[in-house]
Amino acid sequence: MEKSTDLVLDYFTEVSRIPRQSGQEAGVREWLKSWAAKHNFTFHADKVGNVVIEVPATPGHESAAPIALQGHMDMVCEKTPDSTHDFTRDPIIPRRDGDWLTADRTTLGADNGIGMALAMAAATAPDLSHGPMELLFTVDEETGLIGATEFQAELLTARTLINIDSDLEGVFTVGCAGGRNTEVELPVTYRKSAPTGVAVTISIAGLRGGHSGVNIAEVRGNANVLLARVVQRCIERYGASVASFSGGSAHNAIARDAEALIVIDESPDHALFLKEIAQEVSAWQETFRGELREAEPALTVTVKQSDRPELTFDEASSRKLVDLVLSLPHGVIRMSPVIAALVQTSTNLASVRTGPAAQGRSGTVNVLTSQRSLSMSELDAATGAVSAVARLAGAVASTNSSYPSWEPRTDSPLLARSVTTYRELFGREPVVDVIHAGLECGVIGSKVPGMDMISFGPTITGAHSPVERLHVPAVEKVWQFLCALTESLGS
């Protein structure tokens, strides 16, 4: 008997109304606490804010082994340049567009709000029979699996875990890459800009961006890298000095936009120069569109005159910055030698930020990169490559937010039960996969040896970007499957 998804979508709408940027999950945690109290569920929170909600078995299923339904509270907060959305206070209102749910020029937060909604619906659906369940909702997943890394494993009694944080219906994930962030701090020296200089802001925008694990093997542009190429040309042709350079946002998102403020000191005819650089920028736009072809049809490169800043980087610092950005590796490093079409190792040049000038006219530029690999030794090698480039540029590299890979279990009882259940429900075989993205299963499994795990979820496209969409028919199928699997495990 099919079960309605109305409860799932209602929970998703409620979750979406609560601001839950990574590191700012207090509001959604309090909402979960109130929800648990309303249903007489026991609520636990650990020192970093992860939550475990104990859901008793339905009558007659008390002797079944407990299972955990797991997802994360936070979301990636990305928006288009023209959006006025404030992720610290404004609700996200999901909008129906045919078979899809979207947001208004922002990320939707289906990653992982829909996972939370599915777990909560399973706990409260009146027609669902199940054994004891534990709902585990973690914090700070999107910034490097921080919540899972700090999770107090003794709060969890289940040794079977269903992670609802995958993004393609009909695919069961049974393994994932490990990852690490590497931050590069480049010291720069400032000087006074010439009173006769002309300042312009060059912007790269309109790129697709996307998830740095899921989409890294696709032909997508990185705004930081493209902008560095343009700025390098301006330094070589016009003797430009960089005043600021910023692009990208989250460590796990491919940079969609970037902009640099540059100053040209030697320009006796400002009008002529502005016309010339506009032509130069237009040519770069055609070049990039030609290189990226169908992958980036909305890519734009623009230039506008700006107020001249008091300070710019000196010549050496301007060159060091673009040399660093252009030299840091970005993209696929190696494909898997075992699994066809699977990325083994990659790195993402995620963001560049110019810090303020300090006394003595010194300052820093901060570059955030993230490395992923199915092999921990190759993860070390990729991190080492980023650190080596940083040293050559006179910068300092530091690593943080490391998390382990999740090695597949071919003898998993949970996988076998899941495959059988899916086949019986839908008359076809699910895809069993290993992904290049990081999942909390790897971290939780390292804390709870012997944990039997699987990850699945409804179809989400454009995750970590303002074009994120959730496929409603896929939610319906995942809900039917989750109900059948939960009932099977509780029998």
Query: Secondary structure of 255-277 in the HEC alphabet?
Result: CCCEEEEEEECCCCCHHHHHHHH
Closest CA to 92 of 187, 27, 37, 12: 12
Q: Which of 78, 134, 140, 141 is catalytic?
A: 141
Are 136 and 68 within 8 A, CB to CB?
yes
Residue 93, both tokens: 């209102």
Rg (CA), the chain: 24
Cβ within 8 Å of residue 59, ≥6 positions away:
none
Q: Which residue has the tokens 């289940």?
A: 158
Burial, 45: exposed, middle or buried (Cβ in 10 Å; 0-12, 13-18, 19+)?
middle
Are 439 and 176 within 8 A, CB to CB?
yes
What is the C-alpha separation between 339 and 353, in angstroms, rounded? 37
Backbone angles phi, psi at 373, to 5 degrees: -165, 150
Which DSSP symbol is given to 79?
B
Residue 165 appears among annotated catalytic residues: no
What is the C-alpha separation between 89 and 92, in angstroms, rounded? 10
Q: Where are the alpha helices (DSSP H) in 1-92?
A: 6-16, 26-38
What is the C-alpha separation between 389 and 275, in angstroms, rounded? 36
Q: How far is CA 272 from CA 198, 266, 277, 278, 465, in A?
A: 11, 12, 9, 10, 38
- The count of C-alpha atoms lying within 13 angstroms of the C-alpha of 297, restricted to the half-sphere facing its C-beta, is 1
Burial, 307: exposed, middle or buried (Cβ in 10 Å; 0-12, 13-18, 19+)?
exposed
SS3 348: strand
Distance of CA 129 to the CA centre of its chain: 35
Q: Which of 25, 74, 468, 476 is catalytic?
A: 74
What is the C-alpha separation between 414 and 339, in angstroms, rounded? 22
SS3 45: strand
Q: How far is CA 141 from CA 111, 435, 452, in A?
A: 10, 16, 20
Residue 141 appears among annotated catalytic residues: yes
Are 130 and 120 within 8 A, CB to CB?
no
Q: Give the number of other CB atoms < 10 A from CB of residue 264.
A: 23
Q: Which residues are catalytic?
A: 74, 141
